[in-house]
């Protein structure tokens, strides 16, 4: 049975590499974010690139979004914190979307 499970895992990993995604990993501890400075009836737009002119790839309502994970340092480092863009991945149910969020609209929180 263990051999069959290993075969299935290897097949799933190969398939995910072929379609350009990695198998999802569980996350806990530091590195997650939550939405701030957005009205309760509004949403935070996640962008395809670090620009307000870039396409919207996802919308995050305050207090009603899934897990937002910080993927790397917000940049550019030469700019004040609120002016930086942060690369993130949004996990909600079966959806996984990567994009960019302006730093002024997020704060750190431990991942669940």
Find, among 109, 93, 86, 87, the residue nearest to 28 by Cα. 109
Q: Residue 65 pLDDT more than 70?
A: yes
Domain ranges of the chain: 29-111
State the pLDDT at residue 87: 97
- Per CATH, the architecture of 29-111 is what? Roll (2.30)
Express each pLDDT in 1-22 by its tens digit. 444 343 333 343 333 333 333 3
Quickly count helices (H) and strands (E) in the chain.
1, 7
Whether cis (ω within 30° of 0) applies to the bond prior to 16 is: no
User: Which pTM value belongs to this model?
Assistant: 0.72
Q: Which two tokens stand for residue 40?
A: 């309760």
């Amino acid at each position: 049975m263990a051999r069959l499970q290993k075969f299935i895992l290897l097949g799933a990993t190969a398939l995910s590499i072929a379609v350009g995604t990695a198998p999802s990993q569980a996350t806990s501890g530091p590195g997650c974010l939550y939405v701030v400075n957005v009205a309760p009836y509004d949403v935070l737009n996640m962008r395809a690139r670090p620009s307000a002119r870039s396409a919207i790839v996802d919308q995050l309502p305050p207090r009603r979004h899934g897990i937002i994970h910080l993927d790397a340092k917000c940049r550019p480092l030469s700019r004040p914190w609120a002016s930086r863009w942060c690369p993130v991945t949004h996990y909600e149910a079966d959806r996984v979307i990567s994009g960019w969020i302006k730093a002024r609209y997020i704060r750190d929180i431990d991942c669940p």
